[in-house]
Amino acid sequence: MNRLFLLLFLSFFSFSDIKFDGIVEDTEWSDAEVYDLPFEISPSYNTKAEHETLVYIKNDSNNLYVAFKALGNKEYIRAGIRARDGINWLDDQVAIGIDTFGDGRYYIRFSANPLGSIGDNKVDNKDDFDGSYNVEFDAKARLTNFGYEVEFVIPFSSLNFPDTNNQQWALMLSRKLYNKGTEARYMNYKKIDGAGCIICQSDEFYSVDNIVKKNKKRLIPSFTANSVRERNPEGNMNEEPIDSEVSLGGEYEFDGNNFEFTINPDFSQVEADQSQININSTTALRFDEKRIFFNEGKDFLSSDLATVYTRSINDPEYAIKLYNRGEKHSYYFLDAEDATTPIIVPGYQRSYSGLLGKSHANIFSYNYNIEKGQNIGFLATNRDYEEGGASTLYSLKGNFLFNEIYRTRFELVSTDMDEPISNVINTSNVSKEHTYNLDGESFSGYGGAFGLSRETENWETRYYFATKSPNYRSDLGFTTENDWKKHSLNHKYKYRSNGLIRSGNIEIRKDLMQDYDGNIIDQETVLSARAELENQLNINFSWDNSHKASFERYTFKNIKDYNFGVSYSPSAKFWMRFGYDWGERIARNINVPEIGDRKDFSFNSSFQLTDQFRLQYRYRKNQLTSKATNEDYFSGYITSLRGTYQFDKNSFFKLVHEYNNFNDDSYTQALFQWQPDSATIFYFGGTVNQEDIEGTWEVEGSQVYMKLQYLFNFD
């Protein structure tokens, strides 16, 4: 009898162990906590979900295990085999969001589609997604007769959590589906508009007892090599010697502190930034941060005034980070030595930029965390230049919620500048108190922001004020203009139904922007509307009237602008968006600014030919025409075609061709990528640049490159 009991006991535990294969068997999940997703939060507002979704959660000493059974709607499932984070826009998916501190400061969201492709994001207390965030986890999935099911395995070492024996983790469980062709979202609790961030409202938790946190111990060496050919001024093609580099990064965790370092990092981007049209712009363009080292801790650096822009740390010889996420007190520190330093000097409706030599950068941030995503924090930055001079910035900011529907936030910034002496910027333009050239001047500035909002199920009202003084400058941030104050007031009505229009909104906004002498830079009224119809047909329209606007002391009145857009995705195979903007715009890049007639077109489309092969086409045209002569101030377009073959969720081959009509040049890029985890990555590819010279396409340069980066995990 005892022998039989022992066999039954061992048999139960052998069957209850998780077999990570994407098959959700009752025996292996019989001892799990069970949850469901009873609410449709979009497009309906907290109504009963039409299809059932079951969620199972359990853990052992090392991992959290999560399983989803997504029932129903099988004939409308949309999914493809995607690269990491490629599932967020067009696919069915299920996700678990985990707030380990339970105070709403942020949560980590792990998601997967019905074919097992994965995505992970960090979502802050304003519900902004950081898509560049990557940690260790995996998922497997399969289609079934009832829908699909997914299994996740999430190592505890991928989560930061309090150093206590008993953990209570807030959960946000969600499912995105195309219910009879219309995008819908289910959740495990009601989402109340205005009641704070999404995870703040969670009333469901998962308990973990006596968890032993494993400290992270990781090394990430990498090797890069590239070969470059460029045409010299004499017209000959020169091939440079193969350039190879070895880099080393790592992470070590101790007593709740996380230390990261990188030595001689390769921060070059293999995939080019998306081209932007800047022919009528007088300020520098901003691009997203994509470098892995800066992923963790970006939430410490959030700012309405862009006080930190980590891409301003351009080519560091080394960089180190130290951060701690305590239950109430959190801090972040970064130190970096930059070999080549980009600098942006903001001015009155213009910016000036150049590239300096070495600099040393420091960033420190502290947050005091309050429940429901509320916090108050302090930020300081410093940059010392090899050419001499330094810049410092201090910021105090806060975010608070009142009576569930009122939210306020503020930010106060002080800046000090001792300029280096350099000739990389050369302009005769001056501000009220100093030149824009780097000539050793010293000055101080300030900035600020304040917002107050009220949001309910159907109505949303917001007031926002922001300013940057004439001497404001943030060399480790992204400031392209100063000497302005802006007030903005908007009121929105939100609509939901089960009819033809599933959801939509109508909004009116009034803006007033002035300089510090009281001159109006822009005074405008904006009316906009958006409607989401069945079968993924979305339409938006806006009308903008600048009652009074000025550029470099020239004043214009009643500049009208119209915007129309439509997107359509009838199936998993096709998505498109068309935009047409017309009206009037100031021609800025001429000696005397004038009002011209504007016509802008854009067309984006995606064709999913198979589960693994996708074509994407993009076209953008901008045109501004003189009212007096009917001649173009400028007219041109950028078009691109991209084909991607996804071998599996870890590897793909991509071929991209882009033509820039403004510059009469083009590039073609071929790239193979393999990324089996968050930090291991292998690239191999090449780019060919061509230029149209007197009707003949000539190769102006080419590059072949490779990178191998590998994660050694000693957790």
Q: Is the pLDDT of residue 645 over 80?
A: yes
Please state which of the ranges 51-60, 119-128, 359-368 shows the lowest mean pLDDT. Answer: 119-128
Question: What are 464-474's pLDDT values in tens digits?
Answer: 999 999 999 99
**Region of 595 on the Ramachandran plot (φ > 0 left; ψ -120 to 50 alpha; else beta):** beta
Mean pLDDT within 116-122? 94
Res 269: pLDDT: 55
Count, residues in the chain? 715
Identity (one letter) of the amino acid at 265? P
Mean pLDDT within 437-442? 93
Rg, C-alpha atoms of the chain: 27
Res 213: pLDDT: 75
| Residue among 492, 497, 460, 572 nearest 42 (CA) | 497
Taking all residues of the chain, what is their mean pLDDT, rounded to a whole number? 90
Please state which of the ranges 27-36, 62-71, 223-232 shows the lowest mean pLDDT. Answer: 223-232
Please state which of the ranges 6-20, 54-68, 257-271 shows the lowest mean pLDDT. Answer: 6-20
| Measured distance CA(483)–CA(511) in Å, rounded | 16
Q: Give residue for tokens 């100063």.
A: 482
Mean pLDDT within 176-204? 92
Res 288: pLDDT: 74
Q: Is the pLDDT of residue 15 over 60?
A: no
Give Cα separations from 601 to 206, 287, 323 (angstroms). 49, 22, 45
| Fold classification of 13-209 (topology level) | Immunoglobulin-like (2.60.40)
Res 9: pLDDT: 36
pTM: 0.87
More confident residue, 11 or 354: 354
| Measured distance CA(509)–CA(516) in Å, rounded | 23
What lies within 8 Å, CB to CB, of 274 at 6+ separation is: none
Residue 248: pLDDT band with limits 50, 70, 90: very high
